[in-house]
Amino acid sequence: MSLAHLRVLLTGATGGIGRATARELSARGAAVLLTGRDREALEQLARELDPDGDRHGVMPADLTDACERDRLAALAIDWRGGINALVNNAGVGDLRLFLHESPEQIDRAIAVNVTAPMQLCRALLPQLVRLSEAHLLNVGSVFGAIGYPGYATYCAGKFALRGFTEALAREADGTPLRVHYLAPRATATAMNGAAANQMNDELGVATDPPERVAVAVCEMLEGSRRRAVIGWPEKLFARLNGALPGVVDAALRKQLPVILRFAASGRQRPAAANPIVQNPRSSLS
């Protein structure tokens, strides 16, 4: 189905999933307002997507800065008569024990993964609700439904984003605004460093190409589907964790020694000072 009627503000457009999504949206005819922090990368992407025209726009912005976010929202409201879709895709996340997170890392993760999408949505909602068709799509994660060791701060943010999206979708019931939440599983992008990739390999966790997520984004924007999780067995585990979390506790307990080994590999405190790494069972079970 063509998405030529869509004018999409896409955050995180310079990242792995963002670039693939920009390409897929462009291939399906949408006009995309690309944002990230790197102007040069954004301009290069816009040229790649439409070498001879000016269908796509770029606006660099640090989404943790309220003024830059407001400027971005103001542009989006005007751009090509106003956007009719917002895809909140920008995100940060690292494999790291919570014990090793700095206060600044926690603040930054919540600012990018929760505050920024909520505030962008708040700024753009008055424009979106006036239209006969509009979309808000938040890119969450399987870790927005499963608390996974080594990702406590990331999980906190994605759980929050999922709750926000669900509540807003219910608020918008009966209106032309379609609110979607897409939860990818592990995806091959720069977000996952060497330790995360090695851990996933050792645990047999499947990793998708970003193009798979991009197609899922476009398919959601074509319809009114509210929520989707990419991949088995992640779909099943996300549901199971909601209904029978003890079963998932037991499954993750088996993976824990491997997770702790990789999560602690970039630690900021010596292992000797880390009782969780020394004795995972007694500390975490």
Q: State the catalytic residues.
A: 154
Closest CA to 73 of 63, 133, 168: 63
Helix then strand then coil, % of the chain, to nearest 5? 55, 10, 35
Q: How far is the CB of 110 from ligand NAP (least distance, A)?
A: 12
Element (H, E) at 59: none
Contacts to ligand NAP from residues 126-165, by CB under 6 A: 139, 141
Cα of first residue to Cα of last residue in the chain, in angstroms, is: 48
How does DSSP assign 142-192, residue by residue?
A: GGGTS--TT-HHHHHHHHHHHHHHHHHHHHTTTSSEEEEEEE--SBSSTTS
Give me the 193-232 binding string for ligand NAP, x by CB under 6 A, dash otherwise: ----------------------------------------
- Which neighbouring-strand residues pair with 237? none
Pick the closer one to ligand NAP by CB: 64 or 84.
64
Q: How far is the CB of 63 from ligand NAP (least distance, A)?
A: 4
**29 Ramachandran zone, left/alpha/beta (phi>0; psi -120 to 50):** left
Applying CB under 6 A, the site for ligand NAP has a residue count of 28
| C-beta closer to ligand NAP: residue 7 or 185 | 185
241: contact with ligand NAP by CB under 6 A: no
Residue 24 Cβ, how far from ligand NAP at the closest point, in Å?
Answer: 13
Is the Cβ of residue 30 or residue 137 nearer to ligand NAP in the bound state?
137
The single-letter code of the amino acid at 114 is V
Q: Nearest distance from residue 114's CB to ligand NAP, in Å? A: 11
Question: Binding residues for ligand NAP, per CB under 6 A?
Answer: 12-18, 36-38, 62-64, 89-93, 112, 139, 141, 184, 186-187, 189-192
